[in-house]
Every structure is written in C-alpha cells, then in structure tokens.
Amino acid sequence: MNDEEKNNEISDLLRSLPKVKAGEDFMQRLEMKIADFESGQNAVVKSNAERESFLDRIFGMMKNPWLVPAAGIAVAAVFVFYIFNFNKNEIRNDKDPVKIEGEKNIDRINPGQNDMPPPDAKENNQISVPGAVEEPENLKNKNRGTSSQNNESQIKINTGRTESQQVIQEKPEIIDGAVMEGRDEDADGGEMKAAPQEKTGLYKKEDAGKDKINIESPDRTGGPETSVPSELSTGDTAKKSESDSLMKSNRISKKNLDSLKKKIDK
C-alpha cells in the first residue's frame, strides 16, 4: 500500500470540495487595474522624455556642437570673475595689516621711536590755543631736563608718525584703554618709553581743550619742541598737576600698541 492509497480518503475529500469561482466583475476590475498601470507607465515615460528633451535641446545629439566649448568658457569666465572680485575685497582688507607689519620691523630696529601718543590724543590735543606763545630757545633747553614735571601737556611730536598710527587715528575708539608712557626724567631729551600699563587712558576732549595739550613730535635728535603756555610758565601748580595726570592718561605702552595693531588686523 503506497502513500497515495494510504491517504486516499483525504485526497478524495479535498477533490470533493466545492470549486470557488471568480466574481462576475473580475474581468472589468482587472482591465481597470491594467488601464491604471498603463496610464501610470505612460506618465513616467512622458516625464522621462521631457527631461531628455530638455537636455537634448541644449547639447543633445550634436545639434549645436559649438555650444559645448562656449558654455564651458562662459562658466569659467564667471568663475574667474567671481574669484577675482572676491579676492579684491580680501586684498583691500589685508592692505593695512601689511603696512602695520612693516612698521613692526621698524620698531625692532628703533625701539621706542615709534611709541606715539594715541592718534585721538593727537587730534584732540592739537587744538590750537589762541594766545599760546612759543617757548623761547633757552626755556626749551631748561625744560628738557624737567619735562615730566611741567611740560608733558605741551609735547609736540612731529616725526615718526607712521601709517599704522594713521590707521589708529582712523579708529580713535580703540585707543581708549591705551596708556602713553611719559617722558623719562633721565632720558636724553624726552625719549618716549614703553611702560607697563598704569591706567586706562580715558582721554577726555574737554580736558584736552582745557589744558591745551599739543603733542606732535618726539624729536629724537634735538629733543621735543616744547611750547609752554604762559600760564604754566608762571608756575600755576594746580594746573600743572592736572596736566600731569592728563599726560599720564595719554601715555601708551608698546604692549597696548601691539594689542591695538592686532585689533586692527582683526
């Protein structure tokens, strides 16, 4: 008795099961599904064809072979123009820091020579005082030794101004916080020195106007041209002390100058 015969009953039972038939609308539903599929396929084919035709319109099938190098050159030209334009601005921005860098080298050669007062100080201090009398030559020499005591408010620094300082001048707000080192008493003829920061140089214009400070040049060879106003030369001690403190506030240390340069670089 083989396996087929052994389970004949089951086989017969399964064969006797009623046959289920497809619904009457089976064919219509199938046709609708096929139509949907076809329309979907056509849409996909159409969109592909549109995409291809867009590219074909420009470069396809060598219709316009001259367009390929022309388009390449045009793209390259735009790219180069953009790069140059961009770098032009960069160079403009970098121009001043380069000069400042050059000035640093000068500082290394002549340390202390470029220790200038803050440009705003200069600007503010160059308020011409009506009636200010130029100091006589003998008085100049006299004052050379005791400049820190009575002449600091009237120092004129005419030389040694570099472009970096001009840059600083353009941005006087940065100068706030810088301190000018006063003239050393022992130094020969009012040489400016870098000094540790004493106090932030909150230079006030009204003070400057009041005290008639005129800082223009640190004359290395002959000492500073110092013009002493008539009030100071008469020994007005109150005003003298006031001007001393003002001068301290105008001092700038080298460190601060460097930091300012860095700020400007940024």
Which two tokens mark 238?
Answer: 């109150």
Residue from 1, 22, 55, 238 touching another protein (CB under 8 A): that is 22
Residue from 1, 5, 15, 108 touching another protein (CB under 8 A): that is 15
Closer residue to another protein (CB): 27 or 98 = 27
Would you give the distance in Å from CA 134 to the centre of its chain? 43
Closer residue to another protein (CB): 34 or 202 = 34
Shortest distance (Å) from residue 19 CB to another protein = 5
Shortest distance (Å) from residue 51 CB to another protein = 23
Q: How far apart are the first and last CA of the chain?
A: 101
Residue 14 near another protein by CB under 8 A: yes
Residue from 13, 70, 77, 78 touching another protein (CB under 8 A): that is 13
User: 33: number of CA atoms within 13 Å, CB side?
Assistant: 6
Residue 34 near another protein by CB under 8 A: yes
Residue 23 near another protein by CB under 8 A: yes
SS3 171: coil
Residue 45 near another protein by CB under 8 A: no
Residue 1 near another protein by CB under 8 A: no
Q: How far apart are CA 118 and CA 257, in angstroms?
A: 9
Closer residue to another protein (CB): 27 or 133 = 27
Cβ–Cβ < 8 Å for 232, 239: yes
Residue 63 near another protein by CB under 8 A: no
Cβ–Cβ < 8 Å for 196, 253: yes
55, 144, 145, 218, 233 from 136: Cα distances, Å: 89, 12, 15, 18, 11
Residue 18 near another protein by CB under 8 A: yes
Residue from 1, 20, 91, 238 touching another protein (CB under 8 A): that is 20
Q: How many chain residues are in contact with another protein, going by CB under 8 A?
A: 23
Which residue shows structure tokens 């340390």? Answer: 111
Write the Ramachandran bin of 218: left for phi over 0, alpha for psi from -120 to 50, otherwise beta: beta
Residue 238 near another protein by CB under 8 A: no
Residue 7 near another protein by CB under 8 A: yes
Measured on CA atoms in the order 255, 256, 257, 260, is the torsion positive or negative? Answer: positive
Positions in the binding site for another protein (CB under 8 A): 3, 6-7, 9-11, 13-15, 17-23, 26-27, 29-30, 33-34, 37
